[in-house]
Structure formats: C-alpha cells, structure tokens
Amino acid sequence: MITPPPLDEAVLTIIRCAIREDLGGLPGEAAAIDRTTKIAISPTAVGKAHIVARKSGVFCGGFLLPVILKAFGGSLGFRVDIPDGQLVNAGQQIAEIRGPLANILTAERTVLNFLTHLSGIASLTHKFVMAVARCRPGSPPLICDTRKTTPGWRSLEKYAVRCGGGVNHRMGLFDGVMLKDNHIAALRSGADAARSLAQITARIRREVPAEIKLWLEVDNLDQLQEAIPGGAADIILLDNMPPAKLAQAVTLRNELGRGGKPLLEASGGVTLENVAEIGRTGVDRISIGALTHSAPALDLALDIA
C-alpha cells in the first residue's frame, strides 16, 4: 500500500479554496451558492452517483474523497472501489457516492478536479515506468519527479507520482542538498575559485548531515570527470546530455567511481519517445519535470445512477 500524504492544513486549505472558488464561499456561509442546483433540485431528493473511468490509466486520489465530501456538508456516503495506484480500464467504476442529490451535484466538479489531476500524474508516471522496464528488464532506472509542481499541491502531486510507480526526488529545499550550476558559479566567484568540483563537493559534504543526500549537477563530461574523485556526491545529475553522452558518462563513472557510485541521474528533455533510449545508456535514475507540470488529466466522469 502506498502511504498517502498527511491531511494537514496545507491539503485542507487547497480543498477549501477549491470549494470557495466554485460556490463563492464555503458551505454554510451566506455567499455560498450553487444556483443551478438550488433552482432545479429538491433539497429532499436523494440518490447515488458513480465515478467512472472514461479512459484507462492509474487511479489516484481516493483517499481525498471523504475529506472533500465532508467539506461540502450534508450526509453523503461513499464507497471507493479502486485503491490508489491501481490500473483502471475505460468504463470501470471507481467509486459510488450516496445521499442528497443536491450535495452530490454541487460537489461533482471539485471531486473530479482532484481525482482527474492526480490520476493524470499517476498515469503518465506509469507510462514512463513501463517504458524503461521494457528497455532494461530486471534493472530499469528509477523514474523520479522534480520540484516543478503546482504551488500548494506538492505533497499531493508527489504522492500521485508514487502511485504511478515513480520515486520522489527531494520534497523541497529542506530535505536534500543539490549543487546546481548557479551554486557552483557563485562558489567559484569567492573562496572556492581555485577548487575542483570534487573539492567543492567534499567541503559541502562535511557540512551536510549523513542522512541527507547530496546531488551535484554537471553539464558535460569534463565536469563529471572532475567531480567523481573522492565520491562526496551521492548522485550526479547529468543535465541535458544526449544519450551518446549519457552512455559515456556511465562508462566514466564505472572507471573512476567505486562500486557503481556515485549514482547517475539523467535530466532534461525527457519524453515518452526518448526515455527508453535514455534508459538503455545505463543511468541509474531519470528525473522528469513533465510528470507534474505537464501531465494531462485522466478522463473520469460522475454519473447519476
């Protein structure tokens, strides 16, 4: 079972914001209204609705359903038939909601917005995971996300990546150290001007707690060769290198590194069309910003039964 993120104040705030922007306020507030439902649907009418997949993919977001429904008020019951992280087929029922029809109809779009977005991320991640699994059976590279997430949604979107079989990169700036090109440029404008990348990385490593991973970004093979000695970096990120260069980078790491360390992570310009070729180079990880910033929503529908 994939552990969902905590339903902390950040997640609850997103849900409340989604409801407020749809109703003009939160349920119970004077400004909150669904004009169509108020006019058309009797407040005493009850029934049920099914959430159904219109396209196949990986479902994600079921753990949010009770929280969203509760936020809309009323006595809505529900049943989730598909666990997060499971493949669904077009036409398959995912969940059932029961209770006042007015509440079901008012909650419909907010529920679907959360589920389709998170399921879209999980589905796209799954496609990348399967693509590299086919190209390197038995030892595929890990498919990793990035910090390129929707503001406020990071814990939810990174959970969706896990549901799709991917691996989370740093959650934020607080749980990992990553020396990027701008960090190196800034360091070399001062006291580290004469130091090699390996020396700079070793100095930074001494100041980083042992349990915190240290990444180093390089743009070319010369930088990689300069960075490997000493093994201070846990992971070296190979930024925007074509597959031929990535393969050379793996060979270089195997010659200069120790026991397959540091790990090599390809990043930049990764698509479903080229990820298998990148995977065949032998890199250990592939990070893909598109998992969270460009995933299309999975088509789901809510149908009154």
Provide the annotated active-site residues.
109, 148, 180, 217, 239
CA pseudo-torsion sign 209, 210, 213, 218: positive
d(CA 250, CA 264): 7
DSSP 94-162: EEEEEEEHHHHHHHHHHHHHHHHHHHHHHHHHHHHHHHHHHHSTTSPPEEE--S---TT-HHHHHHHHH
Residues forming beta bridges with residue 53, ordered by sequence position: 300
DSSP code, position 22: H
136 φ/ψ angles, rounded to the nearest 5 degrees: -140, 70
Distance CA 304, CA 101 (A): 9
Contact 170, 208 (CB under 8 A): no
* Separation between Cα atoms, residue 270 and residue 243, nearest integer Å: 11
The Cβ-side half-sphere exposure at 211, using a 13 Å CA radius, reads 2
Nearest to 61 by CA among 104, 6, 116: 116
DSSP for residue 269 = S
Exposed/middle/buried for residue 33 (C-beta within 10 Å: 0-12, 13-18, 19+): middle
Pairing mode, if any, of strands 87-88 and 57-58? Answer: antiparallel
